[in-house]
Structure 1
Amino acid sequence: MTRKVAFLFLGETLLIPHLYPIVEALAATSDVPIELWVSTSVHEALLARWTAPFPTVRIRRAPGFRAVADDGSGRNPVLPAKIPMLLRLLPYLRSASIVVCAEQTSLWLPRLFPMRAKFLKTSHGVGSMSARDDPRRRAAALTLVPSELERRTYLDRGFAPDKFVATGYVKADFAHRTHAAPPFADTRPVVLYAPHWQQHRSSWWRWGAEVVRRIVADGRYNLIFAPHQRLIEKAPEVADLMREVGDLPHVHCDIDGFAMVDGSYTGVADVYLGDTSSQVIEFLMRPRPCVFLNAGGVAWEGDPNYAMWVCGEVVEDVADVVAAVNRAALSHGEYAAVQANFAARSLGSVEGGAARAAGEIVKLIDA
């Protein structure tokens, strides 16, 4: 076994900004050989573009690699089946010292098979609805989380303290965003509507289409409609609505573009409109107005699953959505301090997380 680190880029493109900053930080500070295993040509093209300055980094195609049509913008591709790919990849990973992943599926390998390589799991996203009790998590030699608050949620479940390290929010160090400015010709305030993909957590099924149509018809806002990438798997009617409104000059729709996962939209929006997506916490790295949609009529106050809803007005009637967005900027002073505290506690540091994560990899190699 060599001092080699393998990074697994096998899942959706949304995982890339949570994982790739660690690659850059490790390559910039260490001479350890780094292999990036990719599942599709979309992943390969993005990573090849960014890794050119780093001679220690090699991109490798995982068994079952899929070449897909791509216009170079990094649209989320249809992925090969993950479990067969992992099983076929297993022999190649035996030469690595550390294997780094950003999702639970890859942890089936150390859970089911004896491996010398140590698996390091880094978080993707943050928030109160993470599946922390998944037994695969115990197969990781080390898990990196953004904050001490997040770390404490695992320790409270009986996980060993030395298996979890708070590094700060790694995605904050991602330097390859698609948009540095709003994708509109005018300067109307920008509303980002980002409903969750899971039905029990989402505003989409009850209110989503009406929310979009109300904001669009009001005309005072530029709307970015960018739901979670996986929503269209469960709700194909999303594409119909995007075709209906997507050509309007004050509407920008995205369901599979890299911009919707690289921090572009949370970075350029003026108002966040959503439900339980952890994207709101990323948005609150720079506190701004938020409006939350209680489409399911849940009794949310005091429920940790809805902890982020203290950061803005919670709408109980879809007819009040536009008025709530109008109020959001005026009432932001009531929420700014709450937002800043919530983001700091949830995300930890928003600078240097990738470098700290790279340092933990080096320590694990030498352990």
Structure 2
Amino acid sequence: MTSAPPRGKVAFLFLGETLLIPHLYPIVEALAATSTVPIDLWVSTSVHETLLTRWTAPFPAVRIRRAPGFRRVADDGTGRNPVLPAKIPMLVRLLPYLRSARVVVCAEQTSLWLPRLFPMRAKFVKTSHGVGSMSARDDPRRRAAALTLVPSQRERQTYLDRGFAPDRFVATGYVKADFTHRTHAAPPFADTRPVVLYAPHWQQHRSSWWRWGAEVVRRIVADGRYNLIFAPHQRLVEKAPEVADLMREIGGLPHVHCDIDGFAMVDGSYTGVADVYLGDTSSQVIEFLMRPRPCVFLNAARVAWEGDPNYAMWACGEVVGDVAEVVGALDRAALLHTEYAAVQAAFADESLGAVKGGATKAAGEIVHVLEAIPSR
């Protein structure tokens, strides 16, 4: 993509949880590096502001702006997930400020209430945050986006099968793979024991936590042969506050690393450094499989999963139906990996698309949207 004269301002909405940042920010960097388009980053808290201010220093076209209702929170500069202001009131108050933008980019559906409910000149571009067979593709807000960026042709096809217009969905590759500001480049442990990442989902009907979670953690910890990263979805503690109690109980052990709100749990650090993935239906496993490694899946609800597309990821590793077998499955995982490696590679490729250059392609699509808007 070549630089072109600005055809209008692009606004990026950083209003939600920090988990959205690595899915959205690489597009900011790519757009700033390859065009002269002025860019506004609207932020909801001082945590977002601190991180983005640090990263955008080399990009003079980028301006960080506080959304109405901006919240200043206790912040040590590491990006811990903050308590957010109420998003709907913030969006309504932000509406007049977005009149100067020609394109608005977001990574979550809540922001799509604006083009769904209000007449707006700005075109909304929605980029994906995470992938997976259980994504809420039928949400009517999705139809309010002028363009939706998805990682792969497989993901794009799931929308076309639902009757969405083909020209409103583009496969870019996995944008988060281009995020370069990770917290950890190596496991956060003093020894070299194999590292298990346990990442249960936050929604009860999809999660192993409520039935098995605490016992799974305690069994691994008591076994002592693995380093455990216990890093569930950020929102799990909202639904299950006992998670924090368990973390306080075991967090001081040398072979345990707990994280419930740190930026490392959303920036790709843990999926990058773990040796074995242990989970249920979280899309984090697909990110983990960018580099195929052993996986173990927990069928705590004993669902009949084989042949169900909602559980397609479970073909990538052993599926455990008895909590007493979890440690044994971890022991077998490395030995069994040769049976799953090719399946994993194919599944990741189909789900994620390209794992390099996604942000640059996404930035190019945004410029195309700008160029297609008639001059006022």
From 261, 280, 301, give the equivalent of 1:275. Answer: 280
From 263, 266, 273, give the equivalent of 1:258. Answer: 263
Q: Which amino acid aligns with 1:147?
A: S
Distance 1:305 1:12 in 2: 25
For residues 205-256 of structure 1, the C-alpha deviation after alignment (integer angstroms, 9 at most, x for no partner) is 0000000000001110000000000000000000010011100000000000
Q: CA deviation at 1:262?
A: 0.1
Q: CA deviation at 1:76?
A: 0.2
From 126, 133, 138, give the equivalent of 2:138. Answer: 133
Counterpart position of 1:63: 68
Q: CA deviation at 1:140?
A: 0.2
Q: CA deviation at 1:302?
A: 0.5
Q: Which amino acid aligns with 1:43?
A: H
Matches within 5 A, 1:1-367: 3-367=8-372
Check whether the contact 1:42–1:72 (CA below 8 A) recurs between aligned residues.
yes
Q: CA deviation at 1:329?
A: 0.3
Q: Which amino acid aligns with 1:289?
A: P
For residues 159-201 of structure 1, the C-alpha deviation after alignment (integer angstroms, 9 at most, x for no partner) is 0000000000000000000000000000000000000000000
- The CA RMSD measured in Å over matched residues stands at 0.7
SS at match of 1:97: strand
Q: CA deviation at 1:275?
A: 0.1
Check whether the contact 2:134–2:310 (CA below 8 A) recurs between aligned residues.
yes
SS at match of 2:100: coil
Q: CA deviation at 1:342?
A: 0.2
Check whether the contact 2:232–2:260 (CA below 8 A) recurs between aligned residues.
yes
Q: Which amino acid aligns with 2:350?
A: R
Check whether the contact 1:63–1:89 (CA below 8 A) recurs between aligned residues.
yes
Distance 1:145 1:198 in 2: 23
SS at match of 2:63: strand
Q: CA deviation at 1:328?
A: 0.1
TM-score relative to the length of structure 2: 0.97
Check whether the contact 1:2–1:96 (CA below 8 A) recurs between aligned residues.
no
Check whether the contact 1:285–1:350 (CA below 8 A) recurs between aligned residues.
yes
Counterpart position of 2:3: none
Distance 1:35 1:72 in 2: 21
Q: CA deviation at 1:2?
A: 6.0
Check whether the contact 1:2–1:95 (CA below 8 A) recurs between aligned residues.
no
Q: Which amino acid aligns with 2:315?
A: V
Distance 1:135 1:9 in 2: 22
Q: What is the percentage of aligned positions where both structures have the same residue?
A: 88
SS at match of 1:31: coil
Distance 1:135 1:79 in 2: 24
Stretches (4+) displaced over 2 A? none
- Unpaired segments of 5 or more residues in structure 2? 1-5
Q: Which amino acid aligns with 1:127?
A: G
Distance 1:136 1:165 in 2: 17
SS at match of 1:331: helix
Distance 1:352 1:31 in 2: 19
Q: Which amino acid aligns with 1:180?
A: A
Distance 1:123 1:307 in 2: 19
Q: CA deviation at 1:335?
A: 0.2
Q: Which amino acid aligns with 1:57?
A: V
Check whether the contact 2:305–2:311 (CA below 8 A) recurs between aligned residues.
yes
